[in-house]
Amino acid sequence: MADPDASRCLKLATMVKRLDYNVFLASNGSDLVRITSGIIPNAVLLDLDMPPISGQPCLEALRSNRSLSIIKRITTSEVGRTTDLLASLSRGASGYVTRPVSPTELYRTIQKLIEPRPRNFLRIRVLFKATVITGATGRATFATALSEQGVFIRTLKPFAEGTKVRVSLELPTPKPLVLDGEVLYAVKEMPDKLSEPGMGIRFVGLDPNIQAGLHKFIEDQVIGEGGEGLL
């Protein structure tokens, strides 16, 4: 994350961190070179007004450095400078986002550039109580990841793929959110690996208003605001 405005840089870095990425901050050209040379990040979010590096604009300096040229470069600036952002694509930028930053736009841009299987819907880490029911069987556990399309449930005993379920999520709302779903995949506990055991559940027949509420709730969590208005 490279921005001469420390407050703005920290705010955007916090958003990226909440999208489950590690973040390093740079407020000047020398910090940017030092950090990127030491860790070779997957991507750099670069403000258009970053000071030059040894007299060369930051964007061009990153592109011309052979060891750093593999880094995806995402330029950022105010929405009124869209023309400049578009021009940055011909100078070495891989993509851009405008301010004020939309969490969804930011997430999709990062996903498209660095992930082998990019997601279109915001997915965040959470820790909420959840109950998953199928037939007469119910399991109380925790939800650990959430999107407007589905949820990941941590459990040592996941239901089989294709199982129809009802999920009750105890989000910070006046009452639990109860949704129908289907188990898409199951992850078994493997002591020799770091993968989290559980099951991914896709929401089925989701009311458009509830989906819109989930989308807003997730964006608010990324921005750092409350969860009002979901129900």
Q: What is the predicted pLDDT for the residue at 228?
A: 45
Question: What pLDDT is stored for residue 225 in this prediction?
Answer: 66
pLDDT in tens, 26-36: 988 888 888 88
Q: DSSP letters of 5-52?
A: -HHHHHHHHHHHHHTT-----BSSHHHHHHHHHHH--SEEEEETTPPP
Confidence of residue 227 (pLDDT cuts 50, 70, 90): very low
How many residues are listed for the chain in this entry? 231
Contacts (Cβ under 8 Å, ≥6 apart) of 69? 62, 63
Query: CA 215, CA 149: separation in Å to the nearest integer?
Result: 9
Residue range 164-187: mean pLDDT, rounded: 95
Ranges of H-type helices in 40-162: 58-64, 82-88, 103-114
Q: Where are the alpha helices (DSSP H) in 89-136?
A: 103-114
Structural contact between residues 71 and 62, judged by C-beta atoms closer than 8 angstroms: yes
Which amino acid belongs to residue 83? T
Nearest to 103 by CA among 84, 119, 81: 119
Kindly tell me if the per-residue pLDDT of 7 is higher than 50.
yes
Residue entry with tokens 């969804």: 104
Residue-wise pLDDT tens digits, 101-141: 999 999 999 999 999 999 999 999 999 999 999 998 999 99
Give me the pLDDT at residue 229, please.
Answer: 41
pLDDT digits (tens, 9 = 90+) for 56-99: 888 888 888 888 889 999 999 999 999 999 999 999 999 999 99
Q: For the whole model, what pTM was predicted? A: 0.86
Is the per-residue pLDDT at 38 higher than 80? yes
* pLDDT value at 230 more than 50: no
Helix, strand or coil for residue 167? strand
The percentage of the chain sitting over the pLDDT mark of 90, rounded to a whole number, equals 75
**Across 91-105, 159-173, 217-231, least confident range:** 217-231
**Does the structure show a pLDDT above 90 at 226?**
no
Predicted pLDDT at 12: 93
User: Which pLDDT belongs to residue 65?
Assistant: 85
- From 3, 20, 111, select the one nearest 12 (Cα to Cα): 3
Q: Domains in the chain, please, with CATH?
A: 6-114 (3.40.50.2300), 123-223 (2.40.10.220)
Strand positions, DSSP E, 135-176:
137-147, 150-154, 164-169
Look at residue 134 and give its three-state secondary structure: strand
